[in-house]
Chains A and B, each alone.
Chain A
Amino acid sequence: MTKNPAIELRQISKSFGPVQANKDITIRVMPGTIHGIIGENGAGKSTLMSILYGFYKADAGEIFVDGKKISIPDSQAAIAAGIGMVFQHFKLVENFSVLENIILGAESGALLSPSLSKARAELAALAAEYELNVDPDSIIEDIGVGMQQRVEILKALYRQANILILDEPTGVLTPAEADQLFRILKRLREEGKTIILITHKLREIMDITDTVSVMRQGEMTATLRTDNTSPEDLAELMVGRKVLLRVDKTPAKPTKPVLEIQNLSMVDDFGVQRLKNINLTVKAGEILGIAGVAGNGQSELLQVLGGYSAATGIIKLNGSEIDLSTSVSGDGQARRALGMAHVPEDRQREGLIMDFMAWENAVFGYHREKSNQVNRFFMDNNAIRQETEEKMKRFDVRPPNPKLTAKNFSGGNQQKIVLAREIERNPDLLLVGQPTRGVDIGAIEFIHQQIVALRDQGKAILLISVELDEILSLSDRVLVMFDGAIMGERNPAKTNEKELGLLMAGVSEKAAQ
């Protein structure tokens, strides 16, 4: 090999207390390539990148940039070495202009105006070179997420980055925005930049990368040429066993309506209208999927249904209307008694109490039910513990120890505890938000199977997910939400990501046709 790798890591190790987050990681990324790093949550991807960007110091190992060994004690050093980072959550000042954000931390003197005019000129050059068009004077909070991401990329390029690291860059983008991002990345590659793309989405890896490294439990399990691999192979490398990427399910047999929503609207505490005249029906025996980019009202819809946000309109559960006026302080328990179960979007914030033991979490929300109590004043802790242990075995929660604190389980096992709690109640209606967010692939398969099995028992399921793949493979009908309103309904078998993507971006039904 004649050229030096743009960046090379040799035997990087890092542990946090007893947890070994990175173990002997070695990667070589050649200049002018896009290298993917894929792995499940907790596999150590983010730790590795934090080491590269100087947030953490590796316990052992060496880093080479352009063949020269360097040390990266802080992010300034990383920038000086030509490494730029685009974080999953943007680090932008919302009420600053694009230009001000770009020079933030890279001002060239005590006065701002020379820096700003210099940046303006340079930005124009960069925009021309990489086709990264952004209006330098727009305020960040006024521009879309895709634009904000471009600003992040420009920030890195303005600091002369040759190596660009992107951490889960498509998590907040519509499919169309993601395509645009990929075009930009390809353009950057043509210009000789080196790109490291961290993701857990197999499709992105297949679409855009030249080489890919797979991480599992802190170790680099393989580095491959993307042409020589397949999604199935990568999934197997990530999980360590064969996994089923497709959901096996028979056609739905919907019967009577279980959940009926009419003219549902909601205004939040700041006076912003979050839900606009939602109408939908979920029937017994079907999965209704709601697609949409995060932040378009799906969370609010779940909150209103779950009974912890006030709203106007009509919600009927099994034909009887639910009182929405007093729901500010929560009618969650009353709704559960009516046959509703709810797997919330954020299991760590809402679905579980992380400091409670598994058995305590296993009755959360149902703790006032007779079956969990000796009498009105005492809970039947022994029975709950015993039942939890059986439930944990049925749902393959590992380890099946009801006395273990929730925070000590992995993401997938935490989610299984929530699912076990909600599904085993045998509800008529199951609300599911982001069922597999941060869940390892092996557990995803199991969770999807459980949801489909519940449907096959003739239950109604409302699924909300930002993962389009998940919506398409699980749902029997798909609704798309944008800016608090339903944009349209599609049959998942007869639609495609492009069509849904347009709806998700707010392009109306007529315009889409």
Chain B
Amino acid sequence: MDIMPRWVDIIIVPLLSLFLAAFLSALLIIAIGESPIAALNLMIEGTLLRSAGWGYMLYYTTNFIFTGLAVSVAFHAALFNIGGEGQAMIGGLGVALVCLFIPWPHWTLAIVGASVGAALFGMIWAGLPAYLQAKRGSHIVITTIMFNFIAAGVLNFFLVDVLKPKGSMDPASANFPSTTHLPTFQDLASLFGFEKAFRSAPANVSFFIALLACVAVWYLIWRSPLGYEIRALGKSGPAARYAGVRPVKIIMIAMMISGALCGMMAINTTQGESERLILNFTEGAGFIGIAVALMGRSHPLGVLLAALLFGFLYQGGAELALWTKIPRELIVVIQALVILFTGALSLMVRAPLERFFMSLQKAKE
């Protein structure tokens, strides 16, 4: 028998964790002499009450959906992909090459091409550590984290030596041609006559690709025989072997899907926002993906919700940095608290809840 009803596990545990994180954050804000209520108001006002705020929030959310899904898929195979950061960077390289060197007639085609390029590059980058894990037993956590550094070096090399236009002082690629530019939410809203909505916000059509990716991952994991094998291997290696599931194949496939999803983050940041390849465009989204996957319990719907929350925290944090004396570093601390409580410490919340439900059951008997 499960000790707690499912809904408690899925809804109450994350909410309670979130509340604890918020409470500690409030104490911190009080400690530096600001009002947590005012801070919360500011965060909500800056994100949820203005369309531009939504535009920024959904831009971050898009990144976190991709990386969160990526970590989830690997989790289902019991693989801990910490290399999202590097896979996204290399995905960005893929996007840049596709956008710069193929003359696209229209963005609708360019986004397909860029998605393929991003996914392919991310896939290859995740495939290398996957191969080392599957064939040589090198631990995926160690190799993927090292591949992050290699990816950063590779990106650096390309931006300083290869893709930088002649005479430019900036380690960045040339601007992508305008036919590859993705419509932002502002452009879309204008189509419907709302010229002022989402003004200058970076959210763009790749958000919808992220939503599609959620549906695709859901089908993959819970409806396809491949997903079944991924989950089987993740739950029990010996059982998978008994059933004739090939571990090497499944490890490779799961990691490559994970890498592809991470890579696709770049269509949002690189094709959609900066419209050129720049250094450090990933801004830690690969790591946030781990927290998103943990909080979302590796389920696409959960990932979507968690990605929205982290999008809110990112945008809200930026608002705080802009309008209050709360320093930027403290905002990182608040985000870290949320990650800590919703991800790593969720057991801390679950244990007392389980005891509570156990005593309820006893009282009933």
Instruction: Please give the residue numbers on chain A whose beta carbons come within 8 Å of chain B beta carbons, in ascending order.
Output: 17-18, 306-308, 329-336, 342, 344, 346, 349-356, 360, 364-365, 367-368, 373, 377-379, 381, 408
Residue contact A335 to B235, C-beta cutoff 8 Å = no
User: Would you list 10 pairs from A and B whose C-beta atoms are within 8 A, ordered by A residue?
Assistant: A18-B358, A306-B242, A330-B245, A330-B246, A331-B244, A332-B243, A350-B239, A364-B232, A364-B239, A367-B225
Cα separation A331 to B243 with both chains bound (whole Å): 9
Residue contact A379 to B228, C-beta cutoff 8 Å = yes
Cα separation A360 to B221 with both chains bound (whole Å): 13
Q: Which residues of B contact A307 (CB under 8 A)?
A: 244
Q: Which residues of chain B from 173 to 221 have any CB-CB distance to chain A below 8 Å in the complex? A: 219
Cα separation A331 to B241 with both chains bound (whole Å): 9
Residue contact B242 to A379, C-beta cutoff 8 Å = no
Report the minimal beta-carbon distance from A214 to chain B, rounded to whole angstroms: 26
Query: B325 within 8 Å of A by Cβ?
Result: no
Q: Which chain A residue shows the least CB distance to B354?
A: A17
Residue contact B239 to A18, C-beta cutoff 8 Å = no
Cα separation A330 to B245 with both chains bound (whole Å): 7
Cα separation A354 to B240 with both chains bound (whole Å): 12
Residue contact A378 to B224, C-beta cutoff 8 Å = yes
Q: Which chain A residue shows the least CB distance to B249?
A: A329
Q: Which chain A residue shows the least CB distance to B229?
A: A367
Instruction: Please give the residue numbers on chain B whose beta carbons come within 8 Å of chain A beta carbons, in ascending order.
Output: 1-3, 219, 223-225, 228-229, 231-232, 235-236, 238-239, 241-249, 358, 361-362
Q: Which chain B residue shows the least CB distance to A360?
A: B228
Given contacts A351-B239, A353-B236, contact A367 B246 (CB under 8 A): no
Report the minimal beta-carbon distance from A92 to chain B, rounded to whole angstroms: 26
Q: Which chain A residue shows the least CB distance to B3?
A: A17
Residue contact B1 to A364, C-beta cutoff 8 Å = no
Q: Which residues of B contact A352 (CB under 8 A)?
A: 239
Report the minimal beta-carbon distance from B283 to chain A, rounded to whole angstroms: 35
Given contacts A329-B246, A330-B245, contact A353 B224 (CB under 8 A): no
Residue contact B243 to A379, C-beta cutoff 8 Å = no
Cα separation A356 to B3 with both chains bound (whole Å): 17
State the majority secondary structure of interface residues on B.
helix
Residue contact B228 to A342, C-beta cutoff 8 Å = no
Q: Which residues of A contact B238 (CB under 8 A)?
A: 346, 349-350
Q: Which chain A residue shows the least CB distance to B244?
A: A332
Q: Which chain A residue shows the least CB distance to B365?
A: A18
Residue contact B242 to A329, C-beta cutoff 8 Å = no
Cα separation A368 to B228 with both chains bound (whole Å): 10
Q: Which residues of B contact A367 (CB under 8 A)?
A: 225, 228-229, 243
Cα separation A142 to B134 with both chains bound (whole Å): 36
Q: Which chain A residue shows the least CB distance to B232?
A: A353
Residue contact B235 to A353, C-beta cutoff 8 Å = yes
Given contacts A344-B242, A364-B239, A367-B228, contact A329 B248 (CB under 8 A): yes
Q: Which chain A residue shows the least CB distance to B245?
A: A330
Which 9 A-B residue pairings sit nearest by Cβ, starting from the closest?
A332-B244, A333-B244, A365-B243, A350-B242, A329-B246, A308-B241, A353-B235, A330-B244, A349-B238
Residue contact B358 to A17, C-beta cutoff 8 Å = yes
Q: Which residues of B contact A364 (CB under 8 A)?
A: 232, 239, 243
Residue contact B236 to A373, C-beta cutoff 8 Å = no
Cα separation A141 to B3 with both chains bound (whole Å): 43
Instruction: Give the contacting residue for A377; candidates B1, B224, B247; CB below 8 A.
Output: B224
Residue contact A379 to B239, C-beta cutoff 8 Å = no
Q: Which chain B residue shows the least CB distance to A408?
A: B1
Cα separation A373 to B358 with both chains bound (whole Å): 40
Residue contact B243 to A329, C-beta cutoff 8 Å = no
Q: Which chain B residue shows the least CB distance to A377?
A: B224
Given A329-B247, A329-B248, A352-B239, 15 more pairs with CB closer than 8 A: A18-B1, A308-B241, A308-B242, A331-B244, A332-B244, A332-B245, A333-B243, A344-B242, A349-B239, A356-B232, A360-B228, A364-B239, A367-B229, A367-B243, A377-B224
Q: Which residues of B contact A378 (CB under 8 A)?
A: 219, 223-224
Q: Among B3, B228, B244, B249, which residue has the most Cβ atoms of chain A within 10 A?
A: B244
Q: Which residues of B contact A351 (CB under 8 A)?
A: 239, 242
Q: Which residues of A contact B219 (CB under 8 A)?
A: 378
Cα separation A185 to B260 with both chains bound (whole Å): 65
Q: Which chain B residue shows the least CB distance to A342?
A: B242
Q: Which residues of A contact B223 (CB under 8 A)?
A: 378-379, 381
Instruction: Give the contacting residue for B244; candidates A17, A349, A356, A365; CB below 8 A.
Output: A365
Q: Among B235, B239, B247, which residue has the most Cβ atoms of chain A within 10 A?
A: B239
Given contacts A351-B239, A356-B235, A365-B244, contact A18 B3 (CB under 8 A): yes
Q: Which residues of B contact A349 (CB under 8 A)?
A: 236, 238-239
Report the minimal beta-carbon distance from A58 to chain B, rounded to whole angstroms: 17
Q: Which chain A residue shows the least CB distance to B243?
A: A365
Cα separation A344 to B243 with both chains bound (whole Å): 10
Cα separation A349 to B1 with both chains bound (whole Å): 20
Q: Which chain A residue shows the least CB distance to B358?
A: A17
Q: Which residues of B contact A381 (CB under 8 A)?
A: 223
Cα separation A346 to B247 with both chains bound (whole Å): 19
Cα separation A139 to B238 with both chains bound (whole Å): 32
Q: Which residues of B contact A350 (CB under 8 A)?
A: 236, 238-239, 241-242
Residue contact A365 to B242, C-beta cutoff 8 Å = yes
Q: Which chain A residue shows the least CB distance to B242?
A: A350
Q: Which residues of A contact B2 (CB under 8 A)?
A: 408
Cα separation A336 to B245 with both chains bound (whole Å): 12
Report the minimal beta-carbon distance from B170 to chain A, rounded to whole angstroms: 45
Cα separation A365 to B243 with both chains bound (whole Å): 4
Q: Which residues of B contact A306 (CB under 8 A)?
A: 242
Residue contact B236 to A368, C-beta cutoff 8 Å = no
Report the minimal beta-carbon distance from B72 to chain A, rounded to whole angstroms: 16
Q: Which residues of A contact B241 (CB under 8 A)?
A: 308, 330, 332, 350
Cα separation A352 to B242 with both chains bound (whole Å): 9
